[in-house]
Structure 1
């Protein structure tokens, strides 16, 4: 059998697996759907790896973990998606001209398929841990301690999130923090006696300007969701704003956190309540540099061409592994595009090569 024939056969098997995963919808906020998806993913993993995973249910969210021998390397992914149940009716599974489409196909069900096929091709699974979580798309609130516990002290984590544009590996990711600024004021009739109120809306306007001014360089501090007031003729007694923070360095995350908690009211009679804080630490480029150099070397040997790298603003669970000191390389999953968008797609012809690269990385590190 020629190399081309072998690659074509491998891609066909991957497509069958990918279709099975995409057809099992797994909206993060529907815990029953996530549980159903976990069973499908577990069964697929058992077929390829010869054994089933641990089912780890935390606050109703189902995560899966396979461990083989003494842990050395972690493969990390998630099976939940952003797409509500029923999306298949408007975004059906399809494969046309080598492009696969459907909810979650790019982010990140193709990455899961590539992971199983990479592991199935190893002579031994000793030293490998595979963790597939069920709440990445909603902030990994239940899985983050599990991720950190699993990654601590390992030689490497390979994150099977989709690649950046053109399949570039993600060698740096910004860390994220989320805040809610609540303003408590005092209601009054806006026509009869506005002076007896404490206008939470005006206070919120001051705070929005202060918050927006915290951004600097690569750090972005963005006021997002706004709310306040009850009627046109009432001085608002309450108002709030959500704040999205993205940072490239741990020191910046700490600086913004301190500045958020140092906010003070301007309008007399109002009071501030600051909720939230850091969610994911940044994946700094230093945490991926060695692994990316290794990946470049291995890709050349496999005839995959030159690998590109990208620094991205979006966070992943790889931020958590880097945060506990584990060298981390992200974006090893699908090549395609359209994460969270109507044009989400994965290029099937790229899947065997990415699978071979992952397998080579595991063999080199463990």
Structure 2
């Protein structure tokens, strides 16, 4: 596993870099074919190739993940693949190349692989716009999904994930000279300030809803009334009804200043993955590893898409480690075999169910 992990880490794959992601897909396909035989198909998209492998029989379980990462080209030179003190480090190792490798080796350990499919997509880190339809299609065809994203703190699997999405609000006003005739303008920055407070008031942290303005911009010159402003907002929800409430609230935003105009785009694109979606598979995992714990986490994944379809989904089955999206990202090498064996046991159970 460490040999394959090194190979994949050393093919950098930042989301949206088509050349890099294509090279990564080819590397993933090489690892899959070398360990499992058969053909790993590259499914082209405008975000780069997704990698799909099938055991060739009637599918019963989909192993789902992604091979794109958040780190720009050149990160590897600064942070090369390294193993030290039981930890392996390198860009994308925890999110989620470690889990990808464990998935392949889990399937390789099985004599019967006929009912297994593996799908590693190219655009999860940027929202899965080019892969969602394929993910949903294969999830429905297989009937159960094991997501190889990194484990939660302490090695727990992710039995729930918040729904998540991003909203972008554009305010249009009217420019004017800030000294000579500010009253002739419509100040988009002042309108945006009103809206930021209104949007932040949508928070309901006591029930797991967070609505967080994260980026704002306005203005061109310090002596010009701003004609345009933009606001970006991160939204996380635990309940489906909160998705509807927040989306309706954004749709209902109205200007505070006469003459200002507002345009809103975005949604809570990934609906919540609830414990009801993962209950069946988590019970199976507990039989295989009684000490295993489950946690609900704030981040979303492609498992949100499959769970809301009603397909049993268990997430966080990948590497045990930490530091996702950070320079200190790492994987605990001593846990890799145990986690691969857990995935193998789940696949075997689902194949014979």
Q: Find the counterpart in structure 1 of residue 5 from structure 2.
A: 18
Q: Would the aligned equivalents of 1:56 and 1:65 in 2 still touch at CA under 8 Å?
A: yes
Q: Find the counterpart in structure 1 of residue 126 from structure 2.
A: 138
Q: Find the counterpart in structure 2 of residue 265 from structure 1.
A: 255
Q: After TM superposition, give the deviation of residue 60 of structure 1 in Å.
A: 4.3
Q: Find the counterpart in structure 2 of residue 359 from structure 1.
A: 344
Q: Find the counterpart in structure 2 of residue 36 from structure 1.
A: 23
Q: Find the counterpart in structure 2 of residue 256 from structure 1.
A: 246
Alpha-carbon displacement from aligned partner over 1:203-257 (angstroms, at most 9, x marks no partner)? 1111111111111131011111101111111111111100111011221111100
Q: After TM superposition, give the deviation of residue 92 of structure 1 in Å.
A: 1.0
Runs of 4+ in 1 over 3 A off after TM superposition: none
Distance in 2 of aligned mates of 1:54 and 1:180: 36
Q: Find the counterpart in structure 1 of residue 52 from structure 2.
A: 65
What are the within-5 Å matches in structure 2 for residues 7-156 of structure 1? 14-67=1-54, 68-152=56-140, 154-156=142-144
Distance in 2 of aligned mates of 1:196 and 1:15: 66
Stretches of structure 1 lacking an aligned partner (at least 5 in a row): 1-13, 301-305
Q: After TM superposition, give the deviation of residue 283 of structure 1 in Å.
A: 0.6
Distance in 2 of aligned mates of 1:153 and 1:213: 42
Q: Find the counterpart in structure 2 of residue 164 from structure 1.
A: 152
Distance in 2 of aligned mates of 1:70 and 1:249: 34
- Aligned mate of 1:210, from 186, 189, 198: 198
Q: Would the aligned equivalents of 1:153 and 1:326 in 2 still touch at CA under 8 Å?
A: no
Stretches of structure 2 lacking an aligned partner (at least 5 in a row): none
Alpha-carbon displacement from aligned partner over 1:144-174 (angstroms, at most 9, x marks no partner)? 1111111125431000001011111011101
- Name the Cα RMSD after superposition: 1.1
Q: Is residue 191 of structure 1 aligned with residue 183 of structure 2?
A: no
SS of the residue 2:234 aligns to? strand
Alpha-carbon displacement from aligned partner over 1:172-211 (angstroms, at most 9, x marks no partner)? 1011121111011011111111111111111111111111
Alpha-carbon displacement from aligned partner over 1:318-338 (angstroms, at most 9, x marks no partner)? 111112111110000101111
SS of the residue 1:130 aligns to? strand
What are the within-5 Å matches in structure 2 for residues 215-364 of structure 1? 215-216=203-204, 217-300=207-290, 306-364=291-349
Q: After TM superposition, give the deviation of residue 279 of structure 1 in Å.
A: 1.9
Larger displacement relative to structure 2 (290-299 or 261-270): 290-299
Equivalenced residue count is: 348
